[in-house]
Protein backbone atom coordinates (compact mmCIF):
# COMPACT_ATOMS: atom_id res chain seq x y z
CA UNK A 1 0.00 0.00 0.00
CA UNK A 2 1.20 3.50 -0.85
CA UNK A 3 2.75 4.97 2.32
CA UNK A 4 1.54 8.54 1.64
CA UNK A 5 -1.97 7.32 0.95
CA UNK A 6 -1.95 5.47 4.28
CA UNK A 7 -0.64 8.49 6.15
CA UNK A 8 -3.37 10.66 4.69
CA UNK A 9 -6.12 8.35 6.00
CA UNK A 10 -4.51 7.98 9.41
CA UNK A 11 -5.51 11.58 10.04
CA UNK A 12 -9.13 11.43 9.06
CA UNK A 13 -10.56 8.05 10.08
CA UNK A 14 -13.31 8.67 12.59
CA UNK A 15 -16.38 6.51 12.79
CA UNK A 16 -19.80 8.04 13.16
CA UNK A 17 -21.59 6.61 15.13
CA UNK A 18 -18.60 5.38 17.16
CA UNK A 19 -17.53 1.84 16.35
CA UNK A 20 -18.68 0.31 19.65
CA UNK A 21 -22.16 1.69 18.99
CA UNK A 22 -22.13 0.24 15.49
CA UNK A 23 -21.19 -3.17 16.93
CA UNK A 24 -24.02 -3.01 19.44
CA UNK A 25 -26.45 -1.83 16.78
CA UNK A 26 -25.39 -4.79 14.64
CA UNK A 27 -26.39 -7.15 17.47
CA UNK A 28 -29.65 -5.29 18.06
CA UNK A 29 -30.54 -5.58 14.35
CA UNK A 30 -29.78 -9.29 14.51
CA UNK A 31 -32.04 -9.67 17.55
CA UNK A 32 -34.81 -7.82 15.77
CA UNK A 33 -34.40 -10.08 12.76
CA UNK A 34 -34.22 -13.48 14.49
CA UNK A 35 -36.17 -12.65 17.66
CA UNK A 36 -34.29 -14.84 20.15
CA UNK A 37 -35.94 -15.21 23.56
CA UNK A 38 -32.78 -15.95 25.50
CA UNK A 39 -29.61 -13.98 24.88
CA UNK A 40 -26.24 -14.24 26.64
CA UNK A 41 -23.48 -11.66 26.23
CA UNK A 42 -20.04 -13.09 27.00
CA UNK A 43 -17.40 -10.56 28.06
CA UNK A 44 -20.23 -8.12 28.76
CA UNK A 45 -17.90 -5.58 30.48
CA UNK A 46 -19.96 -2.54 31.60
CA UNK A 47 -23.25 -4.15 30.47
CA UNK A 48 -23.92 -1.48 27.84
CA UNK A 49 -24.97 -4.03 25.21
CA UNK A 50 -27.21 -5.81 27.72
CA UNK A 51 -28.80 -2.48 28.63
CA UNK A 52 -29.58 -1.83 24.96
CA UNK A 53 -30.99 -5.34 24.51
CA UNK A 54 -33.35 -5.13 27.46
CA UNK A 55 -35.56 -2.90 25.27
CA UNK A 56 -35.96 -5.62 22.63
CA UNK A 57 -39.42 -6.93 23.37
CA UNK A 58 -38.74 -10.47 22.13
CA UNK A 59 -36.10 -11.11 24.82
CA UNK A 60 -37.27 -12.82 28.02
CA UNK A 61 -33.93 -13.91 29.44
CA UNK A 62 -30.76 -11.82 29.31
CA UNK A 63 -27.49 -12.94 30.86
CA UNK A 64 -24.06 -11.37 31.03
CA UNK A 65 -20.75 -13.02 31.83
CA UNK A 66 -17.41 -11.40 32.53
CA UNK A 67 -14.18 -12.42 34.21
CA UNK A 68 -13.93 -9.00 35.79
CA UNK A 69 -16.68 -8.51 38.42
CA UNK A 70 -15.76 -4.87 39.07
CA UNK A 71 -16.33 -3.74 35.49
CA UNK A 72 -19.75 -5.44 35.47
CA UNK A 73 -20.75 -3.92 38.81
CA UNK A 74 -19.96 -0.35 37.69
CA UNK A 75 -23.20 0.12 35.80
CA UNK A 76 -25.21 -2.99 36.63
CA UNK A 77 -27.80 -0.82 38.42
CA UNK A 78 -28.86 0.38 34.94
CA UNK A 79 -30.24 -3.14 34.40
CA UNK A 80 -32.68 -2.87 37.31
CA UNK A 81 -36.37 -2.19 36.66
CA UNK A 82 -37.46 1.46 36.83
CA UNK A 83 -40.54 2.77 38.69
CA UNK A 84 -42.35 2.97 35.34
CA UNK A 85 -41.81 -0.78 34.86
CA UNK A 86 -43.82 -1.34 38.05
CA UNK A 87 -46.47 1.24 37.13
CA UNK A 88 -46.97 -0.26 33.69
CA UNK A 89 -45.78 -3.87 33.77
CA UNK A 90 -44.89 -5.23 30.38
CA UNK A 91 -46.71 -8.14 28.76
CA UNK A 92 -43.47 -10.08 28.37
CA UNK A 93 -41.46 -11.46 31.26
CA UNK A 94 -37.82 -10.44 31.56
CA UNK A 95 -35.06 -11.71 33.82
CA UNK A 96 -31.58 -10.19 33.69
CA UNK A 97 -28.70 -12.01 35.37
CA UNK A 98 -24.99 -11.24 35.58
CA UNK A 99 -22.43 -13.94 36.25
CA UNK A 100 -18.82 -13.67 37.23
CA UNK A 101 -16.67 -16.30 35.53
CA UNK A 102 -14.65 -17.29 32.48
CA UNK A 103 -15.72 -18.38 29.01
CA UNK A 104 -13.11 -21.10 29.39
CA UNK A 105 -15.36 -22.85 31.94
CA UNK A 106 -18.72 -24.54 31.49
CA UNK A 107 -21.56 -23.67 33.83
CA UNK A 108 -25.13 -25.03 33.57
CA UNK A 109 -26.54 -21.49 33.89
CA UNK A 110 -25.33 -20.90 30.34
CA UNK A 111 -27.51 -23.62 28.80
CA UNK A 112 -30.64 -22.98 26.78
CA UNK A 113 -29.72 -19.69 25.09
CA UNK A 114 -30.86 -18.89 21.54
CA UNK A 115 -28.24 -16.24 20.83
CA UNK A 116 -24.76 -15.81 22.31
CA UNK A 117 -22.80 -12.65 21.61
CA UNK A 118 -19.02 -12.29 22.02
CA UNK A 119 -18.28 -8.69 21.10
CA UNK A 120 -14.58 -7.84 21.13
CA UNK A 121 -13.93 -10.73 23.53
CA UNK A 122 -11.75 -13.36 21.87
CA UNK A 123 -8.73 -11.09 21.43
CA UNK A 124 -8.65 -10.71 25.24
CA UNK A 125 -8.32 -14.48 25.76
CA UNK A 126 -5.07 -16.19 26.70
CA UNK A 127 -4.02 -18.98 24.35
CA UNK A 128 -5.25 -21.67 26.76
CA UNK A 129 -8.63 -19.90 27.13
CA UNK A 130 -9.04 -19.46 23.38
CA UNK A 131 -8.47 -23.20 22.97
CA UNK A 132 -11.32 -24.05 25.35
CA UNK A 133 -13.65 -21.31 24.07
CA UNK A 134 -15.17 -23.19 21.05
CA UNK A 135 -16.05 -26.25 23.15
CA UNK A 136 -17.74 -24.07 25.79
CA UNK A 137 -19.68 -21.84 23.40
CA UNK A 138 -20.40 -24.09 20.40
CA UNK A 139 -20.15 -27.53 22.01
CA UNK A 140 -21.71 -26.95 25.45
CA UNK A 141 -23.92 -23.84 25.17
CA UNK A 142 -24.78 -24.69 21.54
CA UNK A 143 -27.15 -21.77 20.85
CA UNK A 144 -28.87 -21.38 17.46
CA UNK A 145 -26.78 -18.27 16.71
CA UNK A 146 -23.36 -17.06 17.88
CA UNK A 147 -21.95 -13.63 17.00
CA UNK A 148 -18.24 -13.06 17.34
CA UNK A 149 -16.59 -9.73 16.63
CA UNK A 150 -12.87 -8.98 16.78
CA UNK A 151 -10.51 -6.31 15.41
CA UNK A 152 -9.32 -6.72 11.85
CA UNK A 153 -5.56 -6.20 12.09
CA UNK A 154 -5.38 -5.20 8.41
CA UNK A 155 -7.25 -2.02 9.27
CA UNK A 156 -4.75 -0.96 11.96
CA UNK A 157 -2.51 0.83 9.48
CA UNK A 158 -5.34 3.33 9.03
CA UNK A 159 -5.85 4.00 12.72
CA UNK A 160 -3.86 6.83 14.25
CA UNK A 161 -1.58 5.86 17.13
CA UNK A 162 -1.96 2.06 16.80
CA UNK A 163 1.46 0.48 16.93
CA UNK A 164 0.96 -3.24 17.67
CA UNK A 165 -2.57 -3.77 19.02
CA UNK A 166 -5.55 -1.48 19.52
CA UNK A 167 -5.74 -2.20 23.25
CA UNK A 168 -3.00 -3.11 25.75
CA UNK A 169 -5.02 -6.12 26.99
CA UNK A 170 -5.30 -7.68 23.52
CA UNK A 171 -3.41 -10.96 23.31
CA UNK A 172 -3.59 -11.00 19.49
CA UNK A 173 -5.32 -9.32 16.57
CA UNK A 174 -6.18 -11.31 13.48
CA UNK A 175 -6.17 -10.51 9.79
CA UNK A 176 -9.31 -11.38 7.84
CA UNK A 177 -7.75 -14.63 6.64
CA UNK A 178 -6.71 -15.63 10.18
CA UNK A 179 -10.16 -14.94 11.67
CA UNK A 180 -11.96 -16.64 8.81
CA UNK A 181 -9.84 -19.74 8.98
CA UNK A 182 -10.37 -20.05 12.78
CA UNK A 183 -14.11 -19.39 12.38
CA UNK A 184 -14.56 -21.86 9.50
CA UNK A 185 -12.71 -24.60 11.39
CA UNK A 186 -14.76 -23.94 14.54
CA UNK A 187 -18.00 -23.97 12.54
CA UNK A 188 -17.00 -27.23 10.84
CA UNK A 189 -16.19 -28.93 14.16
CA UNK A 190 -19.49 -28.05 15.80
CA UNK A 191 -21.90 -28.23 12.84
CA UNK A 192 -22.43 -24.51 12.34
CA UNK A 193 -22.35 -22.40 9.21
CA UNK A 194 -20.70 -18.98 9.35
CA UNK A 195 -21.22 -15.72 7.52
CA UNK A 196 -18.64 -12.95 7.57
CA UNK A 197 -19.37 -9.27 7.73
CA UNK A 198 -18.28 -6.31 9.81
CA UNK A 199 -18.74 -2.71 10.86
CA UNK A 200 -16.57 0.33 10.24
CA UNK A 201 -16.22 0.69 6.47
CA UNK A 202 -12.79 1.33 5.00
CA UNK A 203 -12.34 4.58 3.05
CA UNK A 204 -13.00 4.58 -0.68
CA UNK A 205 -10.03 3.16 -2.49
CA UNK A 206 -8.99 1.11 0.55
CA UNK A 207 -11.74 -1.55 0.37
CA UNK A 208 -9.14 -4.32 0.42
CA UNK A 209 -8.34 -3.81 4.10
CA UNK A 210 -11.91 -4.80 4.99
CA UNK A 211 -14.06 -3.67 7.92
CA UNK A 212 -12.42 -2.16 10.99
CA UNK A 213 -14.30 -4.71 13.15
CA UNK A 214 -14.72 -8.13 11.58
CA UNK A 215 -17.76 -10.16 12.53
CA UNK A 216 -18.67 -13.82 12.15
CA UNK A 217 -22.31 -14.84 12.53
CA UNK A 218 -22.59 -18.57 13.19
CA UNK A 219 -25.80 -20.51 12.67
CA UNK A 220 -26.30 -23.98 14.13
CA UNK A 221 -27.06 -26.30 11.24
CA UNK A 222 -29.31 -28.79 13.01
CA UNK A 223 -31.92 -28.24 15.70
CA UNK A 224 -30.91 -29.49 19.11
CA UNK A 225 -32.57 -32.82 19.80
CA UNK A 226 -33.83 -33.74 23.26
CA UNK A 227 -31.07 -36.34 23.23
CA UNK A 228 -28.25 -33.87 22.57
CA UNK A 229 -29.56 -31.59 25.33
CA UNK A 230 -29.81 -34.52 27.72
CA UNK A 231 -26.36 -35.83 26.88
CA UNK A 232 -24.84 -32.75 28.49
CA UNK A 233 -25.52 -33.63 32.09
CA UNK A 234 -25.66 -30.40 34.09
CA UNK A 235 -22.48 -30.14 36.07
CA UNK A 236 -21.51 -28.17 39.09
CA UNK A 237 -22.01 -24.39 38.95
CA UNK A 238 -18.72 -22.53 38.72
CA UNK A 239 -19.90 -19.00 37.98
CA UNK A 240 -20.93 -16.65 40.72
CA UNK A 241 -24.19 -14.76 40.19
CA UNK A 242 -23.55 -11.11 41.00
CA UNK A 243 -26.87 -9.59 39.88
CA UNK A 244 -30.40 -10.73 39.18
CA UNK A 245 -33.44 -8.63 38.27
CA UNK A 246 -36.90 -10.04 37.59
CA UNK A 247 -38.97 -7.43 35.78
CA UNK A 248 -42.63 -6.99 36.70
CA UNK A 249 -44.72 -8.66 34.03
CA UNK A 250 -48.37 -9.19 33.28
CA UNK A 251 -47.50 -12.89 33.04
CA UNK A 252 -47.29 -12.70 36.82
CA UNK A 253 -50.86 -12.99 38.22
CA UNK A 254 -50.11 -10.40 40.91
CA UNK A 255 -49.26 -7.66 38.36
CA UNK A 256 -51.99 -8.77 35.99
CA UNK A 257 -54.58 -8.44 38.75
CA UNK A 258 -53.42 -4.89 39.60
CA UNK A 259 -53.49 -3.88 35.94
CA UNK A 260 -56.96 -5.34 35.40
CA UNK A 261 -58.39 -3.68 38.50
CA UNK A 262 -56.99 -0.27 37.47
CA UNK A 263 -58.25 -0.67 33.92
CA UNK A 264 -61.72 -1.82 35.05
CA UNK A 265 -62.09 1.13 37.44
CA UNK A 266 -60.74 3.57 34.85
CA UNK A 267 -63.09 2.29 32.14
CA UNK A 268 -66.06 2.26 34.50
CA UNK A 269 -65.28 5.83 35.64
CA UNK A 270 -65.21 7.11 32.07
CA UNK A 271 -68.50 5.42 31.25
CA UNK A 272 -70.05 6.74 34.45
CA UNK A 273 -68.82 10.26 33.81
CA UNK A 274 -70.21 10.28 30.31
CA UNK A 275 -73.49 8.75 31.47
CA UNK A 276 -73.93 11.37 34.18
CA UNK A 277 -73.18 14.35 32.00
CA UNK A 278 -75.48 13.13 29.23
CA UNK A 279 -78.19 12.37 31.75
CA UNK A 280 -77.99 15.89 33.08
CA UNK A 281 -78.07 17.34 29.61
CA UNK A 282 -81.22 15.43 28.65
CA UNK A 283 -83.01 15.38 31.98
CA UNK A 284 -85.27 18.38 31.28
CA UNK A 285 -86.26 17.34 27.78
CA UNK A 286 -88.21 14.03 27.46
CA UNK A 287 -87.99 14.10 23.68
CA UNK A 288 -84.24 14.29 23.67
CA UNK A 289 -84.11 11.60 26.35
CA UNK A 290 -84.83 8.92 23.74
CA UNK A 291 -81.78 10.03 21.82
CA UNK A 292 -79.74 9.47 24.91
CA UNK A 293 -79.35 5.74 24.33
CA UNK A 294 -78.16 6.31 20.79
CA UNK A 295 -75.64 8.79 22.04
CA UNK A 296 -74.30 6.21 24.51
CA UNK A 297 -73.77 3.79 21.65
CA UNK A 298 -71.81 6.39 19.71
CA UNK A 299 -69.76 7.04 22.79
CA UNK A 300 -69.01 3.33 23.09
CA UNK A 301 -67.86 3.30 19.49
CA UNK A 302 -65.74 6.31 20.13
CA UNK A 303 -63.90 4.47 22.90
CA UNK A 304 -63.30 1.53 20.61
CA UNK A 305 -65.77 -0.80 22.23
CA UNK A 306 -65.77 -4.19 20.56
CA UNK A 307 -69.40 -5.22 20.94
CA UNK A 308 -72.35 -3.20 22.11
CA UNK A 309 -74.89 -5.32 23.92
CA UNK A 310 -78.06 -3.34 23.76
CA UNK A 311 -79.56 -5.09 26.76
CA UNK A 312 -76.55 -4.47 28.91
CA UNK A 313 -76.18 -0.73 29.02
CA UNK A 314 -75.08 1.24 32.07
CA UNK A 315 -77.91 2.67 34.13
CA UNK A 316 -78.61 4.83 37.17
CA UNK A 317 -80.87 3.71 39.99
CA UNK A 318 -81.29 6.07 42.91
CA UNK A 319 -77.85 6.98 44.15
CA UNK A 320 -76.19 4.07 42.36
CA UNK A 321 -74.67 3.82 38.92
CA UNK A 322 -74.30 0.35 37.43
CA UNK A 323 -71.79 -0.39 34.71
CA UNK A 324 -72.27 -3.99 33.50
CA UNK A 325 -69.10 -6.07 33.49
CA UNK A 326 -69.98 -7.28 29.99
CA UNK A 327 -69.77 -3.65 28.83
CA UNK A 328 -66.42 -3.18 30.55
CA UNK A 329 -65.16 -6.49 29.15
CA UNK A 330 -65.99 -5.33 25.64
CA UNK A 331 -63.37 -2.59 25.83
CA UNK A 332 -60.25 -3.69 23.95
CA UNK A 333 -57.73 -3.11 26.71
CA UNK A 334 -59.72 -4.96 29.38
CA UNK A 335 -60.52 -7.68 26.88
CA UNK A 336 -56.87 -8.14 25.92
CA UNK A 337 -55.65 -8.16 29.50
CA UNK A 338 -58.18 -10.75 30.71
CA UNK A 339 -58.71 -12.93 27.65
CA UNK A 340 -61.95 -14.39 29.00
CA UNK A 341 -64.93 -12.96 30.86
CA UNK A 342 -64.47 -15.61 33.56
CA UNK A 343 -60.91 -14.43 34.12
CA UNK A 344 -62.11 -10.82 34.47
CA UNK A 345 -64.62 -11.86 37.14
CA UNK A 346 -61.99 -13.91 38.96
CA UNK A 347 -59.37 -11.14 38.96
CA UNK A 348 -61.64 -8.41 40.29
CA UNK A 349 -63.56 -10.55 42.80
CA UNK A 350 -63.44 -8.86 46.20
CA UNK A 351 -61.36 -5.96 44.81
CA UNK A 352 -63.99 -3.88 43.04
CA UNK A 353 -67.47 -2.98 44.39
CA UNK A 354 -70.03 -4.94 42.40
CA UNK A 355 -73.84 -5.10 42.28
CA UNK A 356 -75.40 -7.77 44.49
CA UNK A 357 -75.61 -10.26 41.60
CA UNK A 358 -72.00 -9.51 40.66
CA UNK A 359 -72.87 -8.50 37.10
CA UNK A 360 -71.99 -4.80 37.25
CA UNK A 361 -69.49 -2.39 38.77
CA UNK A 362 -71.40 -0.17 41.16
CA UNK A 363 -70.68 3.43 42.09
CA UNK A 364 -72.48 5.39 44.77
CA UNK A 365 -73.01 8.94 43.53
CA UNK A 366 -74.73 10.33 46.60
CA UNK A 367 -71.82 12.55 47.55
CA UNK A 368 -71.13 13.55 44.00
CA UNK A 369 -74.68 14.93 43.84
CA UNK A 370 -74.08 16.84 47.05
CA UNK A 371 -70.96 18.40 45.58
CA UNK A 372 -72.91 19.53 42.55
CA angle 241, 245, 247 (to 5 degrees): 155
Binding to ligand SAH (CB under 6 A): which residues in 257-296?
none
Find the binder of ligand SAH among 68, 111, 242, 261 (CB under 6 A). 68
Measured between alpha carbons, how far is 320 from 354 in angstroms, rounded to an integer? Answer: 11
Please report how many Cα atoms fall inside a 13 Å half-sphere around the Cα of residue 45, on the Cβ side: 10
Judge whether 202 and 210 are in contact, CB under 8 Å. Answer: yes
Q: Sheet holding 360-364: strands in order across?
A: 315-317, 320-324, 360-364
Q: Interface with ligand SAH includes 103 (CB under 6 A)? A: yes
Find the binder of ligand SAH among 54, 99, 106, 124 (CB under 6 A). 124
Coil, strand or helix at 13: coil
Site stretch for ligand SAH (CB under 6 A), options 39-47, 218-226, 332-340, 362-370: 39-47
Q: Interface with ligand SAH includes 125 (CB under 6 A)? A: yes
Q: Interface with ligand SAH includes 53 (CB under 6 A)? A: no
Beta strand 213-220 with 192-199 is antiparallel
Find the binder of ligand SAH among 62, 94, 96, 121 (CB under 6 A). 121
Q: Interface with ligand SAH includes 45 (CB under 6 A)? A: yes
Q: Interface with ligand SAH includes 71 (CB under 6 A)? A: yes
Of the candidates 340, 366, 342, 354, the residue with the CA atom closest to the CA atom of residue 268: 354
Q: Interface with ligand SAH includes 119 (CB under 6 A)? A: yes
Judge whether 155 and 126 are in contact, CB under 8 Å. Answer: no
Q: Interface with ligand SAH includes 217 (CB under 6 A)? A: no
Measured between alpha carbons, how far is 144 from 58 in angstroms, rounded to an integer? Answer: 15
Stretch 224-263: interaction string toward ligand SAH, x if CB under 6 A: ----------------------------------------
Contacts of 87 (CB under 8 A, 6+ apart): none
Beta strand 115-119 with 61-66 is unpaired
Choice between 165 and 299, CB closer to ligand SAH: 165
Q: Interface with ligand SAH includes 66 (CB under 6 A)? A: yes
Residues contacting ligand SAH: total by CB under 6 A: 21
Min. distance of Cβ 355 from ligand SAH in angstroms? 58
Choice between 104 and 194, CB closer to ligand SAH: 104
Where on the chain is the footprint of ligand SAH (CB under 6 A)?
Answer: 20, 23, 42-45, 49, 65-68, 71, 102-104, 119-121, 124-125, 129
Amino acid sequence: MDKNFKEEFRQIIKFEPPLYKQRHQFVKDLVEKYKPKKVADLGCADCSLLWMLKFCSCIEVLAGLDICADVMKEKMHTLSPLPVDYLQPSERSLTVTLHHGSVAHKDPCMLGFDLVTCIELIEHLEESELKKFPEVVFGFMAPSIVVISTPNSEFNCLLPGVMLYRHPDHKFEWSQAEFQSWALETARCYDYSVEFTGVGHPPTGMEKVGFCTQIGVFFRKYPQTAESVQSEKPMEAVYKTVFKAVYPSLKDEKYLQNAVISEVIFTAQIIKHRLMSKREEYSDDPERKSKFQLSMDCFSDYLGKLVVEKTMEPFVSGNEVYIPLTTIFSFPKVNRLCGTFEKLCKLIAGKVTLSSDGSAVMFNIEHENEDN
